[in-house]
Structure 1
Amino acid sequence: MASKSKNFSTWAVSLTNFLDSGCIVAGASGLTLWTSALKLGSFEVGLLGALSANAFGSAIGALIGGHLSDKYGRKVIYTYDMLVYMLGTLIVAFSMNFPMLLAGFLITGIAVGAGVPASWTYISETSDDSKRAYNIGVSQFAWSMGPVLIFIGGTLLAPLGLLGNRILFGFLTVVAFTAWMLQRNLDESAQWVEQKKRERETGEKPHPYKELFSNSVSVKSVFFLIGVYMFWNLVAGAMGFFMPFVYETAGGLSNFQANMLQAVLWTFTALAGYFGFAKFGDKVNHRMFFFVGALMAVVSWVILTYIGFGWTALIAFVTIWGISAGIGAQAWYALWATELFPTKYRAGSQGVMFFVVRGSAGIWSIIFPTILTTLGFKVAGTFMIGLLVVSLLIGTLWTPKTRGKSLEEITHERYGEDDM
């Protein structure tokens, strides 16, 4: 019965990841439609990407949600967060002008950012030690299925034009309501409850960030995880929001072809997340597993950048990148970020890192369209390759040894008895 309960909570919490990627891709699939309908310029297009769940919106939400999750509990996020998300998606669905659209993107992004640190922390803290990577893999599967369903839905609704995109945001509202109904009934994390009991007994009042940044072990972990995730996410974030735009402008593909390519790509990501990371993340050497996924990401962008947009190259790109994304940096970040910090600031540390990662993606979202239009796709693609190589090197050289260990054991090894 306990195992079934844990499986239910993992899938229920993983809906947060589905809604994260889903709203990013819903915005991306309709970007050209909104641009045409509202007569948006390149700066306004970049601003939508920068303030969305893909970037600054979620960055702000993560900083707030991570701290609240450590102070008041993981469950408090699930009680209120989806209500904010639904407000944002409804504003987008009924947008009549650019300020309204921008506000909807921002509110949705804040809700996404607040939910992600709590979701990964909750999944990790409620997992068996031998199934932590598996459960994180389930969350990555859910994250990948968001784009699959949204791109397929976008393709089917394409004849409706902008109305079709409004319907997609309406669909996300319904899923968010379902997630809210499920998540608000979850039990609190036992590890968080124990941590708060210890604080009451000792009179300890942890500062949300003072301990994080005053401990050399934590600081090194922060820099390591930001290095692994940020440089990869600059590529993945730009792809999540701008890739259909790239296919259509640089590759000359139709909106239908662009959406179908992305649907195929995300299908490979979902399959790799479940049958790759979830199935083998608890069993095989983490350094080699990470390296394989990171190398595939580099190879995929070399193909697209230097071979071009022919169908053979496109199919190779979506296949190789799709698989690499399922077993790549985000899955490892989600796992390691919950393992490398004590319970008292486990979610808060993720909030800080997610703020930096998605904030940098926001800056890149403003710069990337300009590079693409002024310097061309080959230059933009070369930038992408360089970013992926940096992530590969950092993750491969400094892979932490956490496989098979409990969170308490990892904390004791890294921080000693005082932070248990």
Structure 2
Amino acid sequence: MSNYLEAGSIVAGAAGLTLWVQYLGLTDTTVGLLGALSANGFGAAVGALISGFLVDRYGRKFIYKYNLLVYMFGILLITCSVNFPMLLIGYIITGISVGAGIPPSWTYIAEEAPKNERAARVGWGQFAWSMGPAVVLLLSVALAPLGLLGSRIIFFQLFLVAFFTWLFQRKIDESSIWEEQKKKEKATNQDGIFNKENLKELFTNRANLRAITLLVGVYAFWNMVAGVMGYFMPYIYETVGGLTSAQANLLQAFLWILTVLSTYFVFIKFGDKVNRKMIFSVGAGMGIVAWIILSFGGMGTFELLAFVILWGLAAGFGAQAFYGLWSAELFHTKYRAAAQGFLFCTARVLVGLISLIIPIMITTLGFQAAGAVMIGLLIIHMIVGLVLAPETRGKSLEEIQAERYGTQEDPSLIKKEAVK
């Protein structure tokens, strides 16, 4: 549900962007500012960085006691906004909450998953992430006749869902792997991620540097493209492609429905059974072809449908799904969430920076120039993934940890994981 709410809030802003532009008389600069400081950019970056350290220190479930309260406050501000400062503050608060929910969500799912089902369990998180935009965009089409009121209603439904989700999240059990790690730290008088040596190790250990290079190269570069799409795509369909708001949202909803389907039928079904580098490379290649068609083929009916089908299917088993999996697998338990917070922060800062310039780039240089930049970013992410992607199928987190760091893990923990 965290994933549903996080993605839903990003796309809710995108779906109603042209309505807010008309209502508040926003410029390219203020539109870029909303995208840069929201859940799609710097807001989420700050939230993820802070949350990652807190989650490693106080537990995976710690953040769930408070985070959605912050989310609900931000969503309520957006729902009731009557001027740009109010809207911007709501976006920033919601963005911080969205970022804060990422490290505990991906970490908890992976740590509690059986070793032969870890990709599938992470895939269900990706499934929920894709459902959020699909539901929001379909609601946008249904409520289009209401204009801006429809956008306010969509944000308010996120508020209601967040409230009931908060009630349930408070009841989850703590991660057993994290509890075992805390027992070890207590027995050896260590202090987890807040230990200077551990913090230094996170950024100097050879295994960690390789993992950071992989995840920044794969996820951050892909996410700059996905971030632009998640927030600006309906806006691009309308301003560049000449579609109506309802048509743009319906097209984007179709894209996300395809992502939901491919997440289930490819990543969930085969992520634990088939070579993951092969799955990743197919998705990456499809994404590059999709953007070539959109950027240089024009925005006719055929080009738009080809783009939506290729990108929609590829996104279900693409960089974000593998980021959720690899970022949990490739780091030690003592700083697993902090590493995720740092990586997600890096990705969102880059999305924030590109969000500041994309509306201006499209206006001044044209969409083809912006599309060429997107294609270049996707090529980089594909090359990094093909070179550095690990093969970790069928291994427990403890076994992966022992291999990567050369440490002897407690055999009872490995046995316990195998039983699970």
| TM-score over 0.5 for the pair | yes
The aligned amino acid for 2:217 is: G
The aligned amino acid for 2:45 is: A
- d(CA) in 2 for partners of 1:401 and 1:151? 36
Contact 1:277 1:326 in 2 (8 A): yes
CA apart distance, 1:418: 6.5
1:158 corresponds to: 144
The aligned amino acid for 2:369 is: V
The equivalent position to 1:143 in structure 2, one of 119, 125, 129, is 129
SS in 2 for 1:129: coil
The aligned amino acid for 2:317 is: I
CA apart distance, 1:211: 2.5
1:346 maps onto 2:340 in alignment: no
CA apart distance, 1:210: 2.4
CA apart distance, 1:419: 7.7
Moved more, 200-209 or 353-362: 200-209
1:305 maps onto 2:295 in alignment: yes
- d(CA) in 1 for partners of 2:285 and 2:168? 38
- d(CA) in 1 for partners of 2:193 and 2:31? 39
1:251 maps onto 2:237 in alignment: no
2:414 corresponds to: none
Q: Any residues of structure 2 matched to 1:320-359 within 5 Å, and which?
A: 320-359=310-349
Contact 2:51 2:100 in 1 (8 A): yes
- d(CA) in 1 for partners of 2:37 and 2:250? 26
1:240 corresponds to: 230
SS in 1 for 2:61: helix
2:43 corresponds to: 57
TM-score (norm. length: structure 2) = 0.95
1:397 maps onto 2:369 in alignment: no
SS in 1 for 2:290: helix
1:84 corresponds to: 70
Contact 1:304 1:317 in 2 (8 A): yes
1:318 corresponds to: 308
The equivalent position to 2:90 in structure 1, one of 104, 107, 120, is 104
2:162 corresponds to: 176
Contact 2:56 2:192 in 1 (8 A): no
CA apart distance, 1:386: 0.8
1:364 corresponds to: 354
1:3 corresponds to: none
The aligned amino acid for 2:309 is: T
CA apart distance, 1:206: 2.7
CA apart distance, 1:117: 0.9
The aligned amino acid for 1:300 is: A
Q: Any residues of structure 2 matched to 1:285-300 within 5 Å, and which?
A: 285-300=275-290
Classify 1:358/1:418 alpha carbon distance in 2 versus 1 (closer, same or farther; 3 Å): farther
1:252-299 CA distance string (max 9 Å, x none): 111111000000000000111111101110000011111000000001
1:337-360 CA distance string (max 9 Å, x none): 000001110000000000100010
Contact 2:15 2:140 in 1 (8 A): yes
The aligned amino acid for 2:27 is: G
The aligned amino acid for 1:410 is: I
The equivalent position to 1:95 in structure 2, one of 76, 81, 85, is 81
- d(CA) in 2 for partners of 1:74 and 1:418? 24
- d(CA) in 1 for partners of 2:73 and 2:216? 30
Contact 2:193 2:334 in 1 (8 A): no
Contact 2:225 2:374 in 1 (8 A): yes
2:176 corresponds to: 190
2:415 corresponds to: none
Q: RMSD between aligned alpha carbons?
A: 1.0
Contact 2:398 2:409 in 1 (8 A): no
CA apart distance, 1:179: 1.3
- The unaligned stretches of length 5 or more in structure 1 are 1-14
1:176-207 CA distance string (max 9 Å, x none): 11211111100000001111111111101134
The aligned amino acid for 1:143 is: W
Classify 1:105/1:193 alpha carbon distance in 2 versus 1 (closer, same or farther; 3 Å): same
- d(CA) in 1 for partners of 2:409 and 2:63? 24
- The unaligned stretches of length 5 or more in structure 2 are 411-420
Classify 1:419/1:238 alpha carbon distance in 2 versus 1 (closer, same or farther; 3 Å): farther
- d(CA) in 2 for partners of 1:415 and 1:384? 36
SS in 1 for 2:403: helix
1:74-95 CA distance string (max 9 Å, x none): 1111111111110110010011
- d(CA) in 2 for partners of 1:287 and 1:215? 24
1:21-64 CA distance string (max 9 Å, x none): 10000000111111111111111100000011011011000001
1:412 maps onto 2:402 in alignment: yes
CA apart distance, 1:301: 0.6
Contact 1:342 1:419 in 2 (8 A): no
Contact 2:275 2:391 in 1 (8 A): no
Contact 1:140 1:274 in 2 (8 A): no
SS in 1 for 2:192: coil
The equivalent position to 1:263 in structure 2, one of 245, 253, 257, is 253
- d(CA) in 2 for partners of 1:137 and 1:410? 19
